Structure formats: C-alpha cells, structure tokens
Structure 1
Amino acid sequence: MSIMTHNGHRAGVRGRALIAALLGCSAIVTVGATGARAQATNDDVIVLDTIVLQGDGDGTADGSFVTLQSGGAGRLETPFLDSSASVSVITEAEIQERGASSVEEVLQYSAAVFTDQYGADNRYDYYMIRGFDAYAYRDGLSLGTPFGGVREETYAFDQVEVLKGANSTAYGVSDPGGSVNYRTKLPKSERFAESYVTAGSFDRAEVGVDFGDNLTKDDTLSYRVTAKVSKGELEYDESRDDEKFFMGGLTWRPSDATSVSVVVDVLDIDSTPGSGGFPEGGDFDRSEYFGEPDFNYLTTDRTSTTVMLDHDFGGGLSLNSSLRYSDIEQTFGYVYVSSTPTTGTIAGRSAFTQDSSGQSVIGDAHLQYDGYFDKIDSRSVVGVEYSKSTADEVLGFDSATSIDWTNPVYTGAPDSVATYSDTLTEQRGHAIYAEQELTFAGKYVASAGVRHDWLDTKVVDNLYGTTSRADISETTARAGLTYKATNELSVYGSYAQSVVPASVGLEPERGEQYELGVKYAPLASRATFSAAIYDLTKNNITQTDPVTYVESTIGEVRVRGLDLEAKAELTPNVSLTAAYSYMDSKIIEDDDDSTEGNNLSFVPEHLASLWVHYLFEGEGNRGDQTVGLGLRYIGSYYYDDANTESTGAHTLVDASYSYQINDQTKLALNVTNLLDEKYVAYGGFGSDFYNEGREFTATLSHSW
C-alpha cells in the first residue's frame, strides 16, 4: 500500500469549460453590482456610507468564512489577489459552524484535499493534497508528516491554511502537492471568555473553555487559557476515545513595536487505533469488532513550548522569530484482520505495535524589509532555520490467533509480539532562505524565493548493532508572477520545487510544480473565487506500507489537475464554500516496471464539496437560527499502485443547526454522514476498512 499519491490531469475542453463557468458566476455578481450603480442618472452623485469590517488584522471579518489575506506561498502575508499560489483558509467561524472536531473534518471541504483514505484507522490525521501526502506546520514551524505523527487538537487553532503546491523554499521539507499550517490561538489585548459542553454519539461527553484578559492596566501583558476534556467511545465495540488538552499563553507588549508570546500546550490521548478491519467482501455492521479487546490501545503524551517574537525597528525593517520545543511519547498496539479465506469463515489476524518517544527543537528567525523604489513596492525577507531531534522507535509485528467472524471468540492479548525494528534516529538541520516581492505600477506582482537546507541524519539500529549516516544538502527555488487586471481580478503563473529526505541510503525525493491560475474577489460582496491548473512531478518516490512500515520505491510520478474554489457571503444571511478538483495521476517510471502507466493509489479523479449556511434572523423573543447543509463527493480510487482493486464513487451529506438562546448562549447540533453512507475506504490487503459512519453532536456554548 502506498502512502504517497500523485495526480495527473488533462485540462483540455473540460478544464476550460469549468474555468469559464467559474468566471461566469463571478461575472453575474459583478453585473448585478454594476446594474445597481447604473440606476443613478449622470447628474446624480451617490455617496455610499463607509463600510467597516471588524476583523483580526488578517483580512478575516469576525464570524466570517472568508479571509482576504493569508501566508501565501511564503513568509510574507499576502492579499488574496496578489498571491501566485492557491491557498485555502479555514477560519474559526467555519470550523465552529461545521462542528469540525478533527483535522480531517476541518480540511474536507477544501479544494484538492482528500481525507479519510484509511477509513476507521484512527492512529493519525490522514489527508493528501493534489494526490501527495502533505506535511504539517504550526505557526510556520514544521511538525513533519501527519502519517506517523500526532492527531492534532483543532481547538488549539483559530485558523488553518492549506497551501496547494510546493513550499520548500519558505518552510523546508514538503511534498509538491501542498502543506497545512495551523495558527495557534494567542492572547488578546481584551477580555473574552467562552465555555461549552458537548454530548454526542458513542457516549461522547466533552467540556471546554477558552478565556483570557489583560494582566496589566496598560494592556502590556495578557494571558489566554484554552482547555478541553473529552470522554467517549468510537463507532466499533471495545473502543474508547478520551482526551485531555491544556494550553496556556502569555503575551508581553513592552511597546507598540514589540510583542513576545509564550505558549505551553499539553496533549494527552487515550484511545484505540482502529476497528481492526473486516473480512473482505462482506457487509458487516460498523460496530462489530474482530481485534482483541485486551490488546487495543493508542496513547499520546506531548508537551510543547513555543516562543514567538515580533519587533518593528521602524523604517520598514522588522524581525519575526519563533522557537518550539516538544517532548512526545506515543504507543499503540492492536490485532487486525490480515487475511480472508476464499472458503469458510475463519479470518487470519496479525498483531502490530509501535512504541516511540522523542524530543525536538526547531527555530526560525527572519528579517523583513518593506520599501519603495522608483514607483516599485518591494518586500524582502532573509531568514535562517535550525532544528534538532532525537527519536526512539520500536516496531513489532507477528501473527495472531484466527477468528471466526460468524462467532467471534476473543483469545486475549498475545504473549509477545516480535520486534522487527528498533532504532534511534538523531537529526540536525540548518537552512538559509530569502524571498523577494516586487510590485510594479500596482498591477504586476513578481515574487521569487530560494532556500538551501543542510540535513544530517544518524540512525542507530539496536537490533543489528549498526550505525548509518546521511548528509543532505539541497537547494529549492520558487518564482511567480501575478497580473492584477482590475481591483477584482488577477491571473498568475508560478513554478516551485520541493524536497523530502528519504531513508538513509536513498536519494531525497524531489518534486516540481507548474501552475496557472485566476482569482476573483468582487468589491460588491465579501467573496473569493479561484481556479488553477497545475502539473506536478516527483522523483525518487519512497512508499511506506501503513501496516508494516516496509518501504518501496517508484522512479517518477506525475499529477495534472484542476482546482476550483469559492468562499462567499452572498447576502447577510447566506454564505457558502464550494470546491471541485480534477486529478489525473500516472506512474511515469517504476524501478521494476510493474506499475508504469498506472494511476497512483488513493487519488480520486474527481473531488467536489459544497457547504451552504443560512441565517434566519430572530424576531421578538425568538433568537437567530442557522441551518447548514454540506455535500461531499469522492470519486473512485485504487487501493494500490498495481490498480488491482478500487472503491466506487460516493456522496456524503453533513448538516448543522444552531439556535441563539440569548446574546451569550447558543445551542448547536451537528451531524456528519447524515445518511450513514457506507463504503470500503481501504481494502485489498486481506481486510476491508469502512469509512466513518453517522455521528451526531449537540453543543451548548456560552460566552461572556
């Protein structure tokens, strides 16, 4: 099974038609606004009232799904129309409206993002962008790949950014498909508070708080506390899903030019890794369990401390730096269905374990200079990054007793599980980078970046008593050009490179992307529309089986595709987010020629989603009510690069409802997979893993 996917695309007539359709929709909005202005005669002068949008300084109005600014493709905060990259931003308002409680749920309405490809496997956050595994970052500092990492707590973030395409030039290691950056909630210079209680399916109970205030009268020192405790089960028997999360932050503002924030967060997860799978070809209830209740555990204990410093020297020069230290212990063990007989009802099973611990420190510091030279606006960034980590990991794999799926009898935890890997990995990284943006005549925005990474890795194999080393020195670059045809419309083109270190002894995985796009942000409403076509290639592919961790390689893969995305507040009462992605993936070169010409695994040719949110304004004693309805279409995809087995296309329905009891109190109901659609999300290796079933939650929140 591959954890790397890629996509290809034949834009052709279909791509041009879809882009035309998107721009046509945008044109309707523009014509409507123009028509309204045209009602005045030539002698009339209409003075419109000033419109003030209250926001957080990032282009996001309070309570809005739409943001007009993001991190773009680098370290520079960039207006939507200026950026030569495809970026989706999921605001806190959208996360709350959809009741998204996991990273996968946060991302699943974004263009080019495919989530939940392993069904009821709950070990990690599973998502891919433009057909590739995506790296994750927090406040611009790398978290690594989510596969094998930590299930992040979404209540810690006030915004999630999805960058489509390579960004190694800005942030280092990344795949060419894209990456995800989480923005941590920081203290505010005002008093605020929120608390909530949630009850839901599978005996879920949860309580959370998020509050802060100034500690000094002059607003120079502020604090924030964010915490939650949840307890419950998952949709299968013999499961649990408990979590404790605490985050505390202090922000010191000794002057208007300087801000220092310190954030400490602790994540404690006590859960189960997954359903253990089902015998192939059957139609089982999701609640059935064919693993071992006495050997089914997943624990995570992580503590992180982050320091962020911003200082404005004046004259256009500023400094931004951040440093994070993390300590983590993570273990899991489970028995799963590993083979299904062609006759009879006795399924083979295997046991798998992981025991890992590690510490890491990563820091970044960069200077930014904003200037104006001979009618040219200039923004420049130069920076350095340092990282160091150690990780101990022990992996075990063994056969387990078989089970009769018509009359399951549990036999208890295995006496032992054979260790097949026991390693200590030490890694040290250094990087220097630079970015330059030039704006000519307010219409042409040229951007370029270059970065060089040095990465030293030492792996001690405790089973064989050997030590291996690898030194990587790689340069990546990015360039883009945006033309702002009007104050509402821009077109752009870009080229970007990516690099990912492979296992010791293997060449780094290198990727590159060409992209063309168009963006539209009508002045008459708060909305953003974008369309992009792209061509991705990646070489020296290393693939890892998610069960056994056994690695294999593919020479070169290609993904070509089309992304369409819209986020719009159509009226004060109606808002929506919509996305469509077409991906055409192909294995160009395989080291053993066995899969050349095939599609990549876990790459649907089509992905589409639509979320519509409607506000019914209150009247008299009746408070505001909102209704949300979402549709997610997932096209068929193969489970393996050999293209031997696949799943069909499916449409899932989500919904939400909220009632504003009073100015401070709200009741919200959310349901995912409303129609309880069931399909095999992953299979073909001895067992089937279904997608997640219907789940309800009811949340009562109070703010003051």
Structure 2
Amino acid sequence: MTDHKTTLGYCTPRFQRSAATLMFCAPLAIIPMTVNAEEADNAEVFRLAPVIVNTQAAADDDANSIVARELWVGGKVATSVLDTPASVSVITEKEINQREADTTEEVLQYTPGVVTDYYGTDDRNDYFLIRGFQATTYRDGLTLGSMRGVREEAYAFERVEVLRGANSTLFGPADPGGSVNFVSKRPKFEQFGSGYLTYGAFDHVEAGLDVGDMINDELAFRITGKIKDSEREYDHSQDDNQFFMAGLTWEPSAFTTANLIVDYLKRDSSPNSGGYPLDKEYSRDDFFGEPGHNNHEVERSSITGQLTHDFNNGLVLRGNLRYSDLTDDFGYVYISDNANRTGNVVNRDYFGTDSEAQELIGNAILQYDARFDNVDSSTLVGVEYRDASTESSSIYTAVGPIDVTDPQYSGVPSGLLPYTGNDQDFKTKSVFLQQNLSFVDRFIVTAGVRQDSLDLSSTDLSGVTESDDFSETSVRGALTYKLTDEVSTYVSFVESIAPPSIGVKAERGDQVELGVKYAPANTNAIFSAAIYDLNKDDVTIAVVQDNGTIERETIGESRVRGLDLEAKVDLTDNLSLTGGYSYMDTEVVEGTLRNGTSIKGNEFTSAPTHSASVWTHYTLPKQGMSFGLGARYTGSYYFDAANTAKSESATLFDSSFSYRIHKDTDLKINVRNLFDEQHVVGSGTADYYNPGREITATVNYRW
C-alpha cells in the first residue's frame, strides 16, 4: 500500500465530491470502499478500504479515455476495475462517441462475451446475450424490470458497464449470463455544452443538445435532449424518437449530496418488414408486412431521486428511489413460410400487444469502513423494495397471404378481440449484506448474501387470479490476490436466481470463475482474461410420462464453459485500441422441446463458439482529423433449440472519420457494415438479416 494512507472520516474537497456524485445509485457495490480521504502535502489523494483508488482525478476522466479505471456497476461507490473480482467491461462516453453508437446493441458490439443482432432488424427491444443467456439490464444500478419494453437511449448515458456472469447477490433476481448497467449523465459543477445535427441513410435526420452549469455553489443542473426522424432500410418504415432528460444536483455541504433526474422517452418505429422468405436471399428493401400495421409505439417517463450522507466517522448512508411509467403498443404482420412451399405466395399472420406498466423501486444502504492494523474492513448492509404492475393484452389472427414477387397489401381485419390478457403484480422485498476485508495490502476477501422475498399475482381475461410467493437466498464469495500493484488475480463463486413465474420453481444459476487483470504502470491500459464454468438449474422442461402425457417439470439444466479476453489501450495520446475474444462451449445437460423431444447434448441458440472484435482510432491533431476502423467476427450458431439450422460465420467492418472544420466544431462521418455484408442472423418461419450499411454525417459543436 502507498505511504499516502488516508484517515477515515476526513471530508473530501468539492472536486472529489463532484466525482463521487456520479456513484451513488444502486443495490450493491462489488467491492465497497470509503469515499473519505485526507490530503498529504505534494501527494495524491486515495480512497481507503479495501482497495486503493486514485480520487484526485476529475469526474469525467473516463469520458476522455476508452480505458475506465473505476467501475460504478454497484453504484454506491467507485471500485477499482483492476481489483474487482469479476469479468467486467466499461464502454466509456469517448468510445461511444468514436463509434457513434446509437443503440444499446451498437454500444455492446465490441464487448467480449456479448452477442447482438441475432434478431436482425426486429428492433422491438435491445436484443443481446451474455455468455449464452439473456442479460438483465439496470439503470444506475436499479433494475429496469417491467420498463424493459423500450429500447434504451444511448445519448442518455455517460458510460455502459457490463458484468459477465451470475450476480443475484449484487442485484437480485436475474438470469445467470450477466448484467448491463446504464450510467445516466448527471450535472457537473462547471459550465459546458454541446449540440449536434445528423443526416444519414434512410432519410435519417437527428438533432441533440447537452448543456449544464452551476446555479450557485450548491446547485448544478444538466439538460439533455434529442429528436430523431428517420426511416429504416425497408419500405413503409419509420424510426422516430424523442428524448428529454433534466437533472439537478444539490450539495449543501461536503457530507451531503442529492440528485434528482427526470426523463421522458418516446419511440415510434416499424420493428421489422415481416421477415423474408426462406427460398433465397432477398433485398433488404422488400417489405412483406402491412403498411401502418407493422408499428411499435412506446412512451416512458421516469423520476429518480438519490441521496448520500457521510457522517464523517466511517459511516455513510445512501438512498435511491425511482418511479417509472410505460405504455407499449405493438403490431406486427409477418410471413409464415416453410421449406416445402411452392410458388410465390406466402402465408402471413398478425400479432399485436397493448400494455401499460408502472414500477416503484428503491433502496437504503449503510456502509461502514474501518481499519485495524493491516486489515481494511468495509461492511455494507441494505434493504430494497420493488413494486411493479403490468396490464397487457394480445391479439393474434391470420392475414391474407402475399405474393413475394409482386406484393399487394390487404390490411388487417378490424374488430379483433384479445385472445389473452393479464394484470400482473410483482412485489419484491430484499435484504443484503456484504463484507470486504483487505489483508496486508495484497489479499482481498469478498463475501455476500442476499435474501429476496417475492410476491406474484396474475388475473386473466376471465377474472381468474393466481398468485405465488418465493423466498430465495443467493451468496457470493471471492478472493483477490494482488501479485503486484499492476497485476491482480481472483477466484470467485457467484449465484443467480432468475425472476420466477407463478407455479414454477425459480431457476438458479451458479458460476466459478478464475481471472487475471493487468494495468501496466505509466500506461493508460487494462488487459483482462477470465475462464468460467456457468450452470443454470431447475429449468422447466416438457417430460413425457409413462402414460404418454406430457407434463412440465423443473429438472432441466444448461451449462456453458468459456474464456473471455479483453484489451483496452491508449497506445499514445492519439492512438487507442479496444479488442476482445470469446470462446463458449454450450451444452443442454437436460432439456426438451415443448413436445417432450429430448435436446440433451445440444448447443444453445444464438451462441457462437468463437467471436472476436477490434476497434482502433487514430487522431492527427495538427490536421484536426481522426480515423476509426473496426471489425466484428461472429462464428456460426444454431437458430433453434433442436439444432436443425445454423448460421454462417461473418465478419463486419465499421469505420469513422472526423475533421475539425472550425474551432470547437467537428464533422464526423460514420459507416456501419462498411461493405454492406448480408447474411441470415435468425431463421424460423422466415429469415431475418443483419442490418445493412448505414452512413451518417454529424456536425458537432461544443462550448
């Protein structure tokens, strides 16, 4: 440990508190640390217990680099990425801007262990898998839960954090593959501003604004907004959205910080063209749905409050509360093809849903940090409450077939009645405890336990109500050993509990992981490698009984073993590189199709054995120009659980160019899928293609 050790309980100056303001917002930190620090003459300032992290840096340091030194995935306090006993990735604001990533899938495309775009241009949701399983999403550490029906707005976030592997002890019920945490932009105690205009392919017109300033020494505000009017790459489509967010930060003293964030998001889009026939490759321009009926209209409003108070004696109290409201209306005419079809006429069906959701979630957390000789201790205890309700109804009917050589649109029958509907309520009460101990500056022991009590109820169209309750416990433990100040290794065991359904045992996951991380001195870089064995048990499967009937039983099991490698490096002041590789060996240990057919030994769907990516960005400062080039490789994977059809492996390229046309004004050109490569990413009763080439030009002005 450095000689510049801190004294617990000493207050931090404002420039440090501005950094800390961004960190107080979620259920459980991976390795909590104190935010108190003491200045030493001519020395840097550090956080103590149990991980030493430099806090002298400005709040937006990570925004100016592709290399994140701290992890806020736990939300309460920043944690050293090097010493976090888990496989993590942080996509900073600088990296997001370099690639002009406009959606969550685009943000995550260069992250190892993550598979995106396996539904192609079917963009009803943000679709991505981590380590072969569905990922759980969070905003500022609080689960999005029933708010998941809307695609997140990348412009709202200053970073996106990926935690690979099971983690219910950190966040509560979640699938075992991993989690994605979106960190919202917040006010700063300084004046800043930027605005941009974008024009691009498919009549894409967009404008955005992000401004902030100090009102006085105690108050700061930030306003972020965006408007987009666009079509998609197929006929009769649209991709419009509006976003607004306002934040207010109050710091009445060195010990108290409060944040208030209000945001509104509206999307009006055409999620897909209805798919493409199976017999050959078609043009992406073709539209086989129904104009005006292939639509997705979403509105979501949220208000978030965050409070932290340091008692100046090693004890810190934090509280977080968010209320959200969502309406989600969706309609979709799609083709229903089969491999034995003859002729040019293809059958079609219509599916639609209308839903409303409300969610209240909050937590209260106490953290106590202390030092005993050569042992640093950090204890964190908290409670969390979530109350979510959803009302939804669904419509399904056959629609007139379509001649794929000469599409004629017939519309959708009117007066359709819902075939299913539910009013659902979910209540979760949780208590969690985590203890961290750092011994002789080299060993860090992390242990945690969480208890989740869940009450579920559902009422169908006929008025029949079902209910169920669950009480689930998850644990985690990890040992980190710092070989040097630059190299850390860890071994961890973590558990997960998937969000349960009424009448069905909750699915559980567990993971053992070994990892190593390297952050070379005097270089802005971090390298990581992790091997893991991840299991999911109590999966509900169809089982053929002795009498021939089929019943659902929770005896299924899935397993994935793999390797994740990642490098993020600022090679020079002008050259940066990020790269990753993933290997996954997936297997259904015990499982069936709905008809009882065994799929034991099969691979997961949409889970390539190999995937890799690299993105590099170079700046010519004297010429005011920069260039970016990236490549994304996805190996072949199965389209279905029966493993009857498989994709082709594919490599896609992306590029960027930026030129300083005037002081504080840049022109940026980005191209995704540079060579317009087309392949099938999903197939069932229709084929679905990867997104085609998209070119955008953006003028950005900063002040």
SS at match of 1:105: helix
After TM superposition, give the deviation of residue 663 of structure 1 in Å: 3.7
2:477 corresponding residue in structure 1: 479
Please give the per-residue CA displacement for 1:130-168, whole angstroms capped at 9, x wherever unaligned: 11000000011000288x621011111101100011111
CA deviations 1:47-85 (Å, max 9, x no partner) are: x99999985448x44520001110367855321221110
Contact 1:558 1:585 in 2 (8 A): yes
Please, which moves more after superposition, 559-568 or 390-399?
390-399
User: 2:269 matched to which residue of 1?
Assistant: 271
Match of 1:225 in 2: 223
Q: Give the structure 1 partner of residue 581 of structure 2.
A: 580
- Residue 144 of structure 2 corresponds to 143
Q: Which has the higher contact order (CA 8 A, sep 6+)?
A: 1
1:184 aligns with 2:192: no
1:198-597 correspondence to structure 2 within 5 Å:
198-216=198-216, 219-340=217-338, 341-462=340-461, 464-541=462-539, 555-591=556-592, 592=596, 594-597=598-601
Cα deviation, residue 539, structure 1: 1.4
Contact 2:63 2:158 in 1 (8 A): no
Q: Report the Cα distance in structure 1 between the residues aligned to 2:55 and 2:244, rounded to whole angstroms.
A: 32
Q: 1:72 to 1:269 in 2, by over 3 A?
A: closer
Cα offset, 1:367, TM superposition: 1.0
In the alignment, the residues of structure 1 paired with residue 492 and residue 146 of structure 2 have an alpha-carbon distance, to the nearest angstrom, of: 25
**C-alpha separation between the residues in 2 aligned to 1:554 and 1:351?**
34
Matches of 1:343 and 1:209, distance apart in 2: 53
Task: For 1:292, give the aligned amino acid.
Answer: E
Q: CA RMSD in A?
A: 2.1
Q: Which segment is superposed worse, 170-179 or 658-667?
A: 658-667
- Please state how far the C-alpha of 1:552 moved relative to its aligned partner: 10
Distance change (3 Å), C-alpha of 1:662 and 1:371: farther
1:635 matched to 2:635? The reply is: yes
For residues 575 and 49 of structure 1, the distance between their equivalents in structure 2, rounded to whole angstroms, comes to: 29
Shift of 1:615: 1.0
Aligned positions of 1:94-105 closer than 5 A:
94-105=95-106
CA distance, structure 2, for counterparts of residue 424 and residue 492 of structure 1: 45
CA contact (8 A) 1:72 1:87 kept: no
Distance in 1 between the 2:541 and 2:67 partners? 37
Contact 2:75-2:140 within 8 A present in 1 as well: no
The offset of 1:543, in angstroms, is 9.0
Verify the 8 A CA contact 1:74 1:167 in the aligned structure 2.
no
Q: 2:621 aligns with which of 595, 610, 617?
A: 617
Contact 1:353-1:417 within 8 A present in 2 as well: no
Give deviations 1:147-197, integer Å, cap 9, x for gaps.
Answer: x62101111110110001111101111111100000111111111111000
* Structure 1 residues without counterparts, runs of 5 or longer: 1-47, 545-550
Determine helix, strand or coil for the equivalent of 2:112. Answer: coil
Native 8 Å contact 2:353 2:395 kept in 1: yes
> After the TM superposition, which residues 103-114 of structure 1 pair with which residues of structure 2 at under 5 Å, given as runs?
103-114=104-115
Tell me, yes or no, if the aligned pair for 1:211 and 1:226 is still in contact at 8 Å: yes
Partner-residue secondary structure (3-state), 1:638: coil
- CA distance, structure 2, for counterparts of residue 417 and residue 698 of structure 1: 44
Q: Is 1:78–2:76 an aligned residue pair?
A: no
Q: Which moved more, 1:658-667 or 1:362-371?
A: 658-667
In 1, distance between residues paired with 2:533 and 2:438? 26
Farther-moved stretch of structure 1 (365-374 vs 202-211)? 365-374
Aligned residues of 2:62 and 2:69 also touching (Cα < 8 A): no
- Residue 700 of structure 1 corresponds to 699
Distance in 1 between residues matched to 2:183 and 2:428, nearest whole Å: 23
Could you tell me which residue of structure 2 aligns to residue 19 of structure 1?
Answer: none
Which deviations, in whole Å up to 9, do the C-alpha atoms of 1:379-418 show, x marking residues without a partner? 1111110010111010111111100101111012222445
Alpha-carbon distance between aligned partners in 2 of 1:269 and 1:394, rounded to the nearest angstrom: 20
Give aligned pairs, total: 641
Counterparts of 1:156-171 in structure 2, within 5 Å, are: 156-171=156-171
Distance in 1 (alpha carbons) for counterparts of 2:553 and 2:691: 29
Q: Secondary structure at the match of 1:94?
A: helix
3-state secondary structure, aligned to 1:647:
coil
Superposed CA offset, 1:533-588 (max 9, x none)? 000000133599xxxxxx99771100000000000011112110000000010000
Give the Cα separation in 1 of the matches to 2:520 and 2:415. Answer: 63
CA gap of 1:543–1:109, structure 2 versus 1, over 3 A, is farther
Spell out, residue by residue over 1:262-304, the C-alpha distance to the aligned partner (whole angstroms, 9 max, x if none). 1100111111121210111311100100011031211011110
Residue 398 of structure 1 contacts residue 418 of structure 1 at CA under 8 Å; is this kept in 2? no
Q: Which residue identity does 2:101 align to in structure 1?
A: A
1:605 is matched with 609
SS at 1:646's partner residue? coil
Q: d(CA) in 2 for partners of 1:339 and 1:55?
A: 58
Pair 1:552–1:393, CA change in 2 (3 A)? farther
CA distance in 2, matches of 1:275, 1:156: 28
Is residue 225–residue 249 contact of structure 1 (8 Å, CA) maintained in 2? Answer: yes
Could you tell me which residue of structure 2 aligns to residue 193 of structure 1? Answer: 193
Contact 1:53–1:61 (8 Å) recurs in 2: no
What CA distance in whole angstroms lies between the structure 1 residues aligned with 2:415 and 2:424? Answer: 25
Distance verdict in 2 for CA 1:599–1:221, change over 3 Å: same
Give the residue type in structure 1 aligned to 2:413: P
Aligned 8 A contact 2:112 2:612 in 1: yes
Within 2, Cα distance between the matches of 1:233 and 1:55? 42
TM-score when scaled to structure 1? 0.88
Task: Give, in whole Å, the separation in 2 of the partners of 1:438 and 1:50.
Answer: 24
Contact 2:164 2:177 in 1 (8 A): yes
Cα deviation, residue 593, structure 1: 5.4
Could you say which residue in structure 1 is the equivalent of 2:669? 669
Distance 1:123 1:69, change over 3 A: same
Name the CA shift for 1:93/1:589 in 2 (closer, same or farther; >3 Å): same
Structure 2 unaligned runs (5+)?
1-41, 46-53, 543-551
1:665/1:49 CA distance change after superposition, 3 Å: farther
Letter aligned with residue 159 of structure 2: Q
| Distance verdict in 2 for CA 1:165–1:267, change over 3 Å | same
1:360 is matched by which residue type in structure 2? E
Q: Which moved more, 1:590-599 or 1:80-89?
A: 590-599
**CA–CA distance in 1 between the matches of 2:559 and 2:64?**
39
Residue 4 (structure 2) aligns with: none
Percent sequence identity over aligned pairs: 48
Aligned equivalents of 2:561, 2:187: Cα separation in 1: 42
Q: Structure 1 residue 629: deviation in Å? A: 0.3
The whole-number CA distance in structure 1 between the counterparts of 2:699 and 2:538 is: 50
